[in-house]
Structure 1
Amino acid sequence: MDKATIGGLASGVALLVIAVFVAPGSKFSAFWDTASAAVVVGGAIAATAIAFPVVALLKFPRVIKKTLQPNALEAAPVIAELVGLAEVARKDGILALEQKTEEIEDPFILLGIQMAVDGIDSELMEELLRTEVDSVAERHKTGKMLLDTLGRYAPAFGMIGTLMGLIIMLGNMDDPDAIGPGMAVALITTLYGAIVSNLVCLPLADKLAYYSKREVEIREIIVRGILSIQQGDNPRVVEQKLKTCLPADQRGSDEMADAA
């Protein structure tokens, strides 16, 4: 579970609620209107459904899950695992890795090792692995587009709801006492649109983009590592190749000294 995402959402909602309660003369009930919420949320979802095919929409729950439960892989442990596999291949031969497949948890590493054991040509293997990486990046891109689209349409429907409220209010100008409350209800819809967009949809889209970039980078490390193992590189060489993908402060003391 991504604590920053949950904490950020909870903090944002809490700040808004606190602001309502501490503002002089404000009432919490004045900030809730079911019709306004329906216009913003329902309208944004409807517009997004028009913009995307059903296949993409059905994957939306997985998109949300990705922002809350990202891939747990980290670069350093992945490099350590690949170096360990390189040591086995260097010592006992590439076919010895077949005995290690049951210990490999990550499906992408397992796929690459199985192809290496099967003796697939290195160029073909690289093409297949990079195609898989591109496929993951494309799926994440579609997910971000979904969230961006929701974030773009929510304020628009907030404005639509406000215009609807103003029309209703102006149609009842014979009652001066209803003008103030009517204006307040009309503006609530704009508020809802801004909150849904800027507190939920757009931040989640940015979080998904961050995790997508990180996952693609780690998969690129895996591709380089597996190709290096297949070529029979020394485990030390494999380690040095892969550590160049890490920031200088994560590469180890030798390379940190070089970087300095």
Structure 2
Amino acid sequence: MKFEPYQKKLKLPVIIILTVLVFHSVIGSISLKSLWNLTALEIIFSGIFLSIIISFSFETLVDTAMMIKASFSEKTDYVHVIHKLHDISIKVKREGVLSLQSDIELESNTFLRDALVLLNDYKKPEAMRDILEKDIEARQISLYRPYNVLKMIANVAPSFGLIGTLLGLIGLLSDLGQASLIMSNMASALVSTLYGGLIANFAAVPLMGRLKEYIDHHILQYTIVMEGILLIAQNDSPRNVFDKMNVMLKEEQRLLYPKKEFTERNTATYEFQ
């Protein structure tokens, strides 16, 4: 965990260095002027956008843009959730489940709020588990829609690059008697394939990996919330609630148990060290 700040500081310079190396290798092979081909760009981008607009709703496309932005700007906060559920377990021990009404009304995390509503309304943990697992499954399907958009882009971009190449070759074969048109069509044919490969492998696939990690973090947070709520419903001790949620994190992310004094209902005062 102590190496995390250094990892963050090193990540951006490494990305910049590798990007410069790729750019240098491309420019070292051909000129920028040779890379620019409007016809190839029209084929690639119009084909990609047409495919995703037909395949997905406008809402899904907006969600894709928002999730990509969130994957760069937001960090899943396990610490806040674990401490909050620990505090809720203490509150339930002291005051009972019905005391959670104020927490439900103020909670901004929609999954945690829904879980608290179940805790307030249900008495059987097995029924709560079934509902929460179905809720996680539905949220997971929703989270994977933007991932599927990028997956389609990664699949169709090389295909439209190949279409551009074929069109260029057809133009080349139809103008064999005109040298200037032969060179123009050849450039269009080759650059189309390059554009398709770059969009797929340097944009769509890396963003897919980033969204997959973002989704996995959210699913882990939902699972932590579910297990914590179920332990509270089983009237488990606050220490067990904390520890069983805490061990779901990676070893370097695990938290120290808070030194907090509280009184459980119908018990003496406890102080955890």
Above 0.5 in TM-score?
A: yes
Aligned mates of 1:83, 1:228 — CA distance in 2: 10
Asked if structure 2 preserves the Cα contact closer than 8 Å seen for 1:140 and 1:209, the reply is no
Within the alignment, does 1:233 sit opposite 2:236 as a pair?
A: yes
In structure 2, do the counterparts of structure 1 residues 153 and 131 end up closer, same or farther at CA, with 3 Å as the change threshold?
Answer: same
Q: Deviations over 1:175-224 (max 9, x none)?
A: 23443343122211111101111111111122111111111111000001
Matches within 5 A, 1:240-255: 240-252=243-255
Q: Secondary structure at the match of 1:23?
A: helix
In structure 2, do the counterparts of structure 1 residues 24 and 33 end up closer, same or farther at CA, with 3 Å as the change threshold?
Answer: closer
Match of 1:66 in 2: 67
Match of 1:46 in 2: 50
- Counterpart among 105, 109, 120 of residue 108 in structure 2: 105
Number of residue equivalences: 244
Aligned mates of 2:199, 2:29 — CA distance in 1: 25
In structure 2, do the counterparts of structure 1 residues 164 and 251 end up closer, same or farther at CA, with 3 Å as the change threshold?
Answer: same
Aligned mates of 2:241, 2:29 — CA distance in 1: 65
In structure 2, do the counterparts of structure 1 residues 13 and 68 end up closer, same or farther at CA, with 3 Å as the change threshold?
Answer: farther
Matches within 5 A, 1:33-182: 33-49=37-53, 52=55, 54-55=56-57, 58-70=59-71, 72-119=75-122, 121-182=124-185
Deviation at 1:142, TM superposition (A): 3.1
Match of 2:264 in 1: none
Q: Secondary structure at the match of 1:174?
A: coil
Q: Deviations over 1:38-90 (max 9, x none)?
A: 1112223334455x3x44x5412202321220464322221111101111111
CA RMSD of aligned residues (A): 2.7
Deviation at 1:19, TM superposition (A): 5.1
Percent of aligned pairs with the same amino acid: 25
The answer to which of 58-67 and 86-95 deviates more is: 58-67
Aligned mates of 1:120, 1:64 — CA distance in 2: 41
Aligned mates of 1:94, 1:61 — CA distance in 2: 39
Q: Secondary structure at the match of 2:236?
A: coil
In structure 2, do the counterparts of structure 1 residues 212 and 25 end up closer, same or farther at CA, with 3 Å as the change threshold?
Answer: closer
Q: Deviations over 1:112-135 (max 9, x none)?
A: 112212235322222221111101
Aligned mates of 2:30, 2:240 — CA distance in 1: 69
Within the alignment, does 1:23 sit opposite 2:24 as a pair?
A: no
Aligned mates of 2:248, 2:30 — CA distance in 1: 56
- Could you state the TM-score of these two structures normalised by the residue count of structure 2? 0.79
